[in-house]
Amino acid sequence: MGKAEQAPARLEGLAARLLPWFETHARALPWRADREPYHVWLSEIMLQQTRVEAVRGYYARFLAALPDIPALAAAEEGQLHKLWEGLGYYSRVRNLHRAAVEIMERHGGVFPSDYAAIRALPGVGDYTAGAVASICFEQPTPAVDGNVLRVMSRLTGDRRCVDEAATRRAWRETLAALYPPGRCGDFTQALMELGATVCLPNGAPDCADCPLAGGCASAGGGWRELPVRAKKRARRRETLTVFLLRCGERWALRRRPERGLLAGLWEWPNVPGALNAQAALDQAAAWGTAPCALERERQMEHIFTHVEWEMRGMYIRCRETPDSFTWVTGEELERDCALPTAFRKFWDAETGEGG
């Protein structure tokens, strides 16, 4: 740890300084209304790489449809994808379902209370297991995410790279020894809250309102250099031609492959590359749709974690509905078909919902 000789002193009384602040400043979030493991687990999965404000509505809708673990375990894939539509990282909801089935089969429908058993559930890593075990079961199991790593790096002047597993593991061990008996869940949430609302990731931290400012190694501007992050790899760029094929009131959809990006989700038919108008009509004809008019084109782009899509959307009116596609009405699409945001953009532009 950078400035190792000062770090223990800076961590002394951490809980005593942090918990009173949390009691006063904690945001009223729906998943903090109780400590039901299903609720906490669901919220933590939804919040991965997703803003709090974006999650609020999804969380409420998901629980309204699937209020408990048995309901989640019994849900069909189409319903799960529709409830998750637009939230992204769809492997999260598939793992939620797999974990719910496992809880029903191996734990009698009761969410396990042991950290190791929670950690063994599909889609649950060290962070989520630590959050659920501490918040719901009062165990001293840190939930070390980007917010917590940023706070601790700045507080102690730690210059280890926070993207390395060894750094995260070291901080879990250090923080585990600082948990106050009987307040484990509050301590976990207080660390999260400080990173989310005060020791911010983008822009200057609000040091004036930080309960740890008095002993912070980064006071006076040192926060600009911390935490130390690994250099990001440049995203690769891919170009697609996306087809919105309409025959009467029905639109052509197809499933993506079961592996890879957006696995198993619905998509508009598409091909690599940027086709011109005639090439797009030729492709639609090759699919057996008997195209009769290219009605409009739209350019869209979408950024994933490691790839950027540049998409040319071709809205083509057709005379045939080959079985190689699934043909749905707009009402059926809205009700039953979960379109990932990358493809949803073209539909929203068509219906006026995209602004």
DSSP 294-310: EEEEEEEEEE-SSEEEE
What is the distance, to the nearest Å, from the Cα of residue 185 to the centroid of all Cα atoms in its chain? 22
Are residue 189 and residue 244 in the same domain, yes or no?
A: no
The pTM assigned to this predicted structure is: 0.88
CATH number assigned to the domain comprising residue 220: 1.10.340.30
Residue 336 located in a structural domain = yes
- Beta strands 326-329 and 250-255, pairing class: antiparallel
Are residue 165 and residue 269 in the same domain, yes or no?
A: no
Which domain-ending residue is among 163, 193, 225?
225
Are residue 77 and residue 220 in the same domain, yes or no?
A: yes
Which range of residues forms the domain containing residue 291?
A: 236-351
pLDDT (0 to 100) of residue 304: 93
Total number of domains in the chain: 2
User: Please, which residues have CB within 8 angstroms of residue 345's CB and are 6 or more apart in sequence?
Assistant: 300, 302, 354
Are residue 56 and residue 135 in the same domain, yes or no?
A: yes
Tokens 């596609």 belong to residue: 325
Are residue 186 and residue 83 in the same domain, yes or no?
A: yes
Residue 339 located in a structural domain = yes
**Residue 350 annotated in active site:** no
Are residue 220 and residue 252 in the same domain, yes or no?
A: no
Helices 77-84 and 52-65: angle between axes, nearest 10 degrees? 150
Are residue 243 and residue 116 in the same domain, yes or no?
A: no
Are residue 84 and residue 162 in the same domain, yes or no?
A: yes
Residue 1 located in a structural domain = no
pLDDT (0 to 100) of residue 7: 59
Are residue 198 and residue 317 in the same domain, yes or no?
A: no
User: Please, which residues have CB within 8 angstroms of residue 144's CB and are 6 or more apart in sequence?
Assistant: 126, 127, 130, 168, 171, 172, 175
Residue 230 located in a structural domain = no
Which domain-ending residue is among 225, 258, 273?
225
Q: What is the per-residue pLDDT across 91-111, written as a single tens digit (0 to 9) for each?
A: 999 999 999 999 999 999 999
pLDDT (0 to 100) of residue 355: 44
pLDDT (0 to 100) of residue 132: 98
Residue ranges of the chain with pLDDT lower than 70?
A: 1-8, 353-355
Residue 135 located in a structural domain = yes
Are residue 111 and residue 252 in the same domain, yes or no?
A: no
- List C-alpha distances in Å: 355 to 311, 346, 349, 351: 18, 11, 7, 9
Are residue 219 and residue 74 in the same domain, yes or no?
A: yes
- Which one-letter DSSP state was computed for residue 32? G
Which domain-ending residue is among 225, 259, 290?
225
- Name which of 254, 151, 267 is nearest 210 in CA terms: 151
pLDDT (0 to 100) of residue 9: 75
Are residue 70 and residue 196 in the same domain, yes or no?
A: yes
User: Which of 12, 36, 44, 225 is an active site residue?
Assistant: 44
Residue 207 located in a structural domain = no
Residue 2 located in a structural domain = no
Residue 333 located in a structural domain = yes
